[in-house]
């Protein structure tokens, strides 16, 4: 196995481990998906891998969550939940953010990218739940009420993005010191 293959395998394994951590009890919105998108964007040279691997890991963990953990909430097997395209599209956008902001990986850039990812997730997913939602007026005031309702979950998003980014990027940095194959160029 080449150094590049070992490197890619370890990056994929870290992303899959982060996705599997969704099965553990956690506070609302304390989740790894944005960090997975940033990490993949920073370490995969191929854009398809940078976006696709974190989205695939998210989808696999969603399959397990929807059909095993939360199976009593729906009938039949769930391949994709209603509205899946909003968060998945958001994670794709976050990967694009990472491709731009993490060309050079530094702690300040990781923190800034994580905070940017939290803002993108908050703005897009709360916007997505507003149109046609009977709980909110379909005007600017209703949209602001929808954003206000999302504020209690924002803290979990920010903490999760920062914690998982620190864990993924930190683990990889430590592994790079121990495993020469990880020092290879992006694939």
Angle at 145 between CA 140 and CA 147, to 5 degrees: 95
Is it the case that residue 182 has pLDDT exceeding 90? Answer: no
Region 44-56 average pLDDT: 96
Name the band, by pLDDT with cuts 50, 70 and 90, for residue 183: confident
pLDDT (tens digit, 9 = 90+) per residue, 91-122?
A: 999 999 999 999 999 999 999 999 999 999 99
Q: What is the pLDDT of residue 185?
A: 63
CA distances from 18 to 13, 44, 138, 149, 152 (A): 9, 16, 37, 28, 24
pLDDT, tens digit, for every residue of 113-169? 999 999 999 999 999 999 999 999 999 999 999 999 999 999 999 999 999 999 999
- Mean pLDDT for all residues in the chain: 94
Q: What per-residue confidence (pLDDT) applies to 74?
A: 86
pLDDT at 181: 79
Higher pLDDT, 75 or 12: 12
pLDDT of residue 61: 97
Inter-residue contact 185 to 11 (CB < 8 Å): no
- The CA distance from 161 to 29, in Å, is 9
185 — phi, psi (to 5°)?
Answer: -70, 155
């Amino acid at each position: 196995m080449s150094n590049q293959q070992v490197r890619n395998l370890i990056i994929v394994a870290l992303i899959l481990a982060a996705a599997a951590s969704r099965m553990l009890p956690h506070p609302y919105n304390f989740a790894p998906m944005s960090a997975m998108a940033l990490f993949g964007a920073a370490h995969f040279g191929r854009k398809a891998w940078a976006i696709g691997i974190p989205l695939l890991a998210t989808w696999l963990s969603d399959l397990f969550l929807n059909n095993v953990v939360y199976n009593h909430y729906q009938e039949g097997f769930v391949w994709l939940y209603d509205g899946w395209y909003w968060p998945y599209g958001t994670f794709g956008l976050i990967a694009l953010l990472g491709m731009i902001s993490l060309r050079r990986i530094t702690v300040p850039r990781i923190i800034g990218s994580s905070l940017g990812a939290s803002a993108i997730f908050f703005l897009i997913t709360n916007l997505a739940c507003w149109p046609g939602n009977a709980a909110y007026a379909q005007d600017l005031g209703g949209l602001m009420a929808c954003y206000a309702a999302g504020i209690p979950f924002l803290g979990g998003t920010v903490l999760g993005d920062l914690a998982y980014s620190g864990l993924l990027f930190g683990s990889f940095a430590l592994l790079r010191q121990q495993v020469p194959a990880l020092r290879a160029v992006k694939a």
